[in-house]
Amino acid sequence: MMETVYVDNNATTRTAPEVVEAMLPYFSDRYGNPSSMHFFGGQVGAELNRARANLADLLGADPDEIIYTSCGTESDNTAIWAALRSHPEKRHVITTRVEHPAIDNLANHLRQLGYRVTEVGVDREGRLNMDHLTDAISDETAIISVMWANNETGVVFPVEEIAEMARGRGVVFHTDAVQAVGKVPIDLRKSKIDMLSLSGHKLHAPKGIGALYVRKGTKFKPFVVGGHQEKGRRGGTENVPYIIGLGRAAQLAAGHLDDENTRVRAMRDRLEQGLLAAIPNSMVNGDREHRLPNTSSVSFEYVEGESILMHLSNLGICASSGSACTSGSLEPSHVLRAMGVPFTAAHGSIRFSLSVYNTDAEMEYIIQHVPPIIDKLRDLSPFWKDGGPTESALLTGAASCSIRH
């Protein structure tokens, strides 16, 4: 058995050894406060500036346009509240039905506070309904927030096009690019995106560091109010070691971008092809053309994702499922539901998300071990008999809601 085959990189990534190495001195010798007047703090401040410049380079941004936060969630919250507080007369927000909870639950919260929220839907391939989005914009709209790439399916949205349209209508545009940074080329100098969120732990920096890009000239009000740090845009003494780590991770990500889009993409495609060829009634979720190179959401009909995950875990394979088993009720992911993926498929969906640390041998290991797991689980399923779905399973697409193993 292989020790650990980690294909859950959209959940979190391994901190790169180079990143750990860059961070270590800032936990020991270089402990100065970058705001201090003395040389000792000043040296740290200079390194902080370098790290900021490295992150800005990855995005095609100016270092002054970067605000450090504690995570992607804080960046998302900061962006939305900045727009709402800067335009108090506008009480409408546009977002999508497939956002991460960092935006989705904030949208629910805003509704409770009396804001109007439009959530634009997607089609069966996870592509955004652009007509709905365009029609929803009004004089009341304070901000449009659309993720760059979906964390579950990897589907990439036309954020540049939406940003252009938002600018034309005088509306602020924010993108949650937590899953996109380091996987797709980004050049904000050529773009009309006003704000962009990212998170360190998705690009081989540690958990607990994020950043928000705010284009120069964008009206902004801080979310965390306090000291003068981050030019008064986010209070709190800087998380120096993690900021240094994120800067190093940004440098590495710039160097790995080609590898992500060639070798990692090829491994992902080989994995999908191997699984689909060996397993009947399996399918890939999401637009295969406009997709992150590292992500694959595969549905194995008539089995439960959780059961597959447990069997995979016993073999050392770490992946995610598209349904959350909470308090005994199995609820398929809101993303797959928004796409109209039938329950029978949504319940049996597994997300494999790769990184530059994966190998071809790991893909072959997964391809070898998943088919017998699916066979075994289908043998236990009341909806599967003699190598195919039973008549009752086909008649009721929602039947798998009640599957229990």
What residues act catalytically?
325
Q: Which range in 48-56, 160-168, 172-180, 260-268 contacts ligand PLP by CB under 6 A? A: 172-180
User: With respect to ligand PLP, which residue has the nearer C-beta, 83 or 178?
Assistant: 178
Contact 308, 350 (CB under 8 A): yes
User: With respect to ligand PLP, which residue has the nearer C-beta, 100 or 347?
Assistant: 100
Q: Give least dist CB 154 to ligand PLP, A.
A: 11
Of residues 302-321, those binding ligand PLP (CB under 6 A): none
**Kind and range of the H or E run holding 116:** strand 116-120
Dihedrals φ, ψ of 38, to 5°?
A: -80, 165
Q: Pattern of binders to ligand PLP over 70-99, x per CB under 6 A?
A: -xxx--x-----------------------
Distance CA 78, CA 195 (A): 10
Q: Which range in 171-179, 226-234, 331-339, 361-369 contacts ligand PLP by CB under 6 A? A: 171-179
The residue whose two tokens read 């439009």 is: 118
Q: Give least dist CB 10 to ligand PLP, A.
A: 6
Q: Pattern of binders to ligand PLP over 196-225, x per CB under 6 A?
A: ---x-x--------x---------------
Q: Give least dist CB 261 to ligand PLP, A.
A: 19
Q: Determine the residue with CB nearest ligand PLP.
A: 72
Q: Give least dist CB 73 to ligand PLP, A.
A: 3
246 lies in the binding site for ligand PLP (CB under 6 A): no
The DSSP-derived string for 42-96 is HHHHHHHHHHHHHHHHHHT--GGGEEEESSHHHHHHHHHHHHHHHSTT--EEEEE
178 lies in the binding site for ligand PLP (CB under 6 A): yes
Q: Give least dist CB 80 to ligand PLP, A.
A: 12
User: With respect to ligand PLP, which residue has the nearer C-beta, 72 or 182?
Assistant: 72
User: With respect to ligand PLP, which residue has the nearer C-beta, 96 or 344?
Assistant: 96
147 lies in the binding site for ligand PLP (CB under 6 A): yes
Pairing relationship of beta strands 388-389 and 66-69 according to DSSP bridges: unpaired
The closest of 240, 212, 244, 174 to 18, measured between CA atoms, is: 244
- Helices 39-59 and 240-259 cross at an angle (nearest 10°) of 30
Total of chain residues touching ligand PLP, rule CB under 6 A: 14
Contact 157, 174 (CB under 8 A): no
One residue of 9, 151, 282, 355 binding ligand PLP per CB under 6 A: 151
Please provide the distance, in angstroms rounded to a whole number, between the alpha carbons at the two ends of the chain. 25
CA atoms within 13 A on the CB side of 73: 8
User: With respect to ligand PLP, which residue has the nearer C-beta, 96 or 282?
Assistant: 96
One residue of 52, 90, 92, 100 binding ligand PLP per CB under 6 A: 100
Q: Which range in 35-43, 55-63, 176-184, 395-403 contacts ligand PLP by CB under 6 A? A: 176-184
Dihedrals φ, ψ of 128, to 5°?
A: -70, 145
Q: Give least dist CB 72 to ligand PLP, A.
A: 3
3-state secondary structure of 340: coil
Distance CA 290, CA 368 (A): 28
In order of 99, 172, 218, 256, 355, the CA distances from 55 in angstroms are 24, 23, 20, 14, 19
Amino acid letter for position 109: H
One residue of 44, 55, 93, 102 binding ligand PLP per CB under 6 A: 102
The closest of 302, 362, 349, 299 to 322, measured between CA atoms, is: 349
Binding interface with ligand PLP (CB under 6 A): 71-73, 76, 100, 102, 147, 151, 176, 178-179, 199, 201, 210
